[in-house]
Amino acid sequence: MDYSFSSSVAGLKPSAIREILKFTSVPGYVPFAAGNPAPEALPTEAVAKIAADIMSETPVAALQYSVTEGYTPLRDHLKEYMKEKHNVGTTDDELIITSGAQQVMNLSAMVLCNVGDSVICENPSFIGSLNAFRSFGLNLVGVDMDDDGMNIEKLEAALKANPNAKFIYTIPTFQNPSGVCMSLAKRKAVYELAKKYQILILEDNPYSDTRFAGKELPTIKSFDTDGLVIYAGTFSKVISPGLRVGYAIAPKEIISKMVVCKQTSDVHTSIFSQMICHEFMTKYDYEEHLDRNRVIYRKKCDLMTYLMDKNIGDKISYIKPEGGLFIWVKLPDSVDMTAFCTRAVEKKVATVPGTAFTTDPSELSHCFRINYSTPTDEQIVKGITVLGQVANEFIK
């Protein structure tokens, strides 16, 4: 039989990162392409204890059907925590637990957009989100990034040019892949533009709890007195990605539509996973855990940037991260980035070519992304040595 696919999906390719991830799980490759938390950052002992306690105390609740909105104790705790710690959430907001923050992108597109609508995205941006939007047949309008976040003039031009745009998608803190932190002034400017043009903001914030240097900046959601912001949070970077627990905090009307769509998507998120996250947040010292992980990531990042400065500092440029999991490396304009990354893979170092992240996949990129959380210290040393050799081949 000849299969015909939906027009939105027919042209979609598997995520370059997921495909590379598969490839780099082959032993012997340096996994700079991944985005996994460091194995030593995962609270394995605590989760082992928690899982055992849950299965001994409330085993039926952990295995039975639950409600779509999410496990009530976790929802209640998160609302309080996000309000207290980050001033996120108003009395007009509600919270839904999702199967990872990825599902927030999926549900936002599903709830808000018709085929052919536009969404405004930072360019470059996280491929998983861009592909979620593409899978609903949406038109991606890219806004170039400055060193302190989206270019505000270009954002306003994009808003003027795309009155059918349904939301602005942004990762203000440790943007993936660029690593950029949006300045406070720009966070306010983006919010004001959203208000002026009456458009929603989808604020994706997976990385802020990984900050190991610099000063914390308020989320855009913390300014949200007008019901304009959908906030996406996740436990993937701070407890476990494998458990697949994320959440959205957004105006009640939007969350109630998300609940309906989540019912039809996966009924609810694994209740055992949700209970584990709740117990970890409430019965363990969550802030101490975050601090402990910050030390791990600062050390790994320091090692990587020290070696980069030493080996290839004169040939490439990058912004030294203050958090997140990635370094965005810029090659001189004369260098063919794809050839560079291909050569690195031949030498068993996997990076992600910058073109994977552009809103227009045909756009030329001179950047690639490397990750410091997944590799061991030995792999970081080996990987940066190899990238130095490749740089010596390509950049005279």
Q: Contacts with its own copies in 27-86 (CB under 8 A)?
A: 34-37, 39, 42, 44-45, 47-48, 51-52, 55-56, 59-68
Q: Which of residues 102-131 bind its own copies (CB under 8 A)?
A: 102-103, 105-106, 110-115, 128, 131
Among 261, 290, 319, 335, binds its own copies (CB under 8 A): 261
Instruction: Evaluate whether 128 touches 21 at the Cβ level (below 8 Å).
Output: no
Task: Give 51 or 184: the residue with its C-beta nearer to its own copies.
Answer: 51
- Regarding 197 and contact with its own copies (CB under 8 A), the answer is no
Task: Give 263 or 317: the residue with its C-beta nearer to its own copies.
Answer: 263
Give residue 193's Cα distance to chain centre: 23
Q: Which of residues 135-194 bind its own copies (CB under 8 A)?
A: 135
Nearest approach in angstroms of CB 277 to its own copies is 11
Consecutive H or E run containing 165: strand 165-170
Instruction: Evaluate whether 250 touches 231 at the Cβ level (below 8 Å).
Output: yes
Task: Give 22 or 85: the residue with its C-beta nearer to its own copies.
Answer: 22
Q: Which of residues 287-326 bind its own copies (CB under 8 A)?
A: none
Among 254, 352, 367, 380, binds its own copies (CB under 8 A): 254
Q: Which residues, 6 or more positions from 36, have their beta carbon under 8 angstroms from its beta carbon?
A: 241, 371, 373, 374
Task: With CB under 8 A as the rule, give the number of residues binding its own copies.
Answer: 89
Instruction: Produce one character per residue of 298-335: b if its CB has 16 or more CB atoms within 10 Å, e if not.
Output: bebbebbbebbeebbeebbebeebbbbbbbbbbbeeeb
Task: Give 35 or 388: the residue with its C-beta nearer to its own copies.
Answer: 35
Residue 250, sorted as left (phi over 0), alpha (psi -120 to 50) or beta, turns out to be: beta
In this chain, which stretch among 149-157, 246-254, 304-312, 365-373 interacts with its own copies, using CB under 8 A? Answer: 246-254
Q: Which of residues 333-392 bind its own copies (CB under 8 A)?
A: none
Q: Which two tokens stand for residue 325?
A: 């999991």
What Rg, from alpha-carbon coordinates, does the chain have?
A: 21
Q: Indicate the burial class of 9 (C-beta count within 10 angstroms; 0-12, 13-18, 19 or more).
A: exposed
Nearest approach in angstroms of CB 165 to its own copies is 12
